[in-house]
Amino acid sequence: CIATVEKFRQQLPTGPHDDLAQLETDFRHFCKNQPTGTKENRFCYFLGATEDAATRTVGNLIRPLSYGLPSDKICNQLKSMDSQICELRFDVKPDFTQLGKMKVGDLRKILSGWGEGMACAGCVEKADYVKAVRQFLPKYEPEEWQKIQAAEKSEL
């Protein structure tokens, strides 16, 4: 909740936000740009900012936001109205420098998140999964790949 509110707040122009209708329009536009299936999209759905939402409680976010209330306070208020909002948990980005220490399930999750789940269809051991993740790492996470390369060079 807090991360999504902060993300929206960063997209707003600086200065006072007196026009509630404009704020609501901006939030609906923010929600429209969120890909389907993401945590941000679910957050928008719970607040009623998506077209398929059953309820409309966007005002519970917009009004406190216009007052300049901090994101954590806004989320506490939203939690009292709908506890599902706080049940959204964002995935933590894995530490790709520690691939050998990850669980096989986490390695599988990384591959499937990249859409490369079938690339390791014949994988049996953990080393096979680590090899597959390393193979696709430059394509999907180039910055992390650079870090790994630099770490390996410094070890030599």
Percent of the chain past pLDDT 90, that is, above it, reads 3
Burial of 106 (0-12, 13-18, 19+ CB in 10 A): middle
Assign 16 a pLDDT band (cuts: 50, 70, 90): low
> How many Å apart are CA 120 and CA 15, to the nearest integer?
51
User: How many domains does the chain contain in total?
Assistant: 2
Average pLDDT, the chain: 79
* 75 and 15 fall within a common domain: yes
Last residue of a domain, one of 87, 111, 128: 87
Distances in Å between the Cα of 92 and the Cα atoms of 38, 45, 59, 147 are 14, 22, 30, 18
* 33 and 60 fall within a common domain: yes
Which of 19-23, 84-88, 136-140 shows the lowest per-residue confidence on average (mean pLDDT)?
A: 84-88
Helices (H) and strands (E) in the chain, counts: 9, 0
pLDDT digits (tens, 9 = 90+) for 36-69: 777 777 878 888 777 776 677 777 777 888 877 7
The domain of 130 spans 96-155
* 41 and 103 fall within a common domain: no
pLDDT at 26: 83
pLDDT at 88: 63
Last residue of a domain, one of 46, 65, 87: 87
* 107 and 83 fall within a common domain: no
Using DSSP, state whether 15 is helix, strand or coil: coil
Burial of 8 (0-12, 13-18, 19+ CB in 10 A): buried
Assign 152 a pLDDT band (cuts: 50, 70, 90): confident
* 102 and 149 fall within a common domain: yes
Here the tokens at position 21 are 């209708």
* 76 and 109 fall within a common domain: no
CA gyration radius for the chain?
A: 20
Last residue of a domain, one of 55, 87, 119: 87
* 82 and 102 fall within a common domain: no
- CATH code of the domain in which 10 resides: 1.10.225.10
* 73 and 100 fall within a common domain: no
* 37 and 103 fall within a common domain: no
- pTM of the full structure: 0.54
Assign 15 a pLDDT band (cuts: 50, 70, 90): low
DSSP string, 120-141: GTT--SHHHHHHHHHHHHHHH-
pLDDT digits (tens, 9 = 90+) for 93-134: 788 888 888 899 888 888 888 888 788 888 889 999 999 988
* 107 and 78 fall within a common domain: no
> How many Å apart are CA 59 and CA 47, to the nearest integer?
9
* 46 and 29 fall within a common domain: yes
Residue with tokens 């759905």: 45
* 75 and 112 fall within a common domain: no
pLDDT at 47: 80
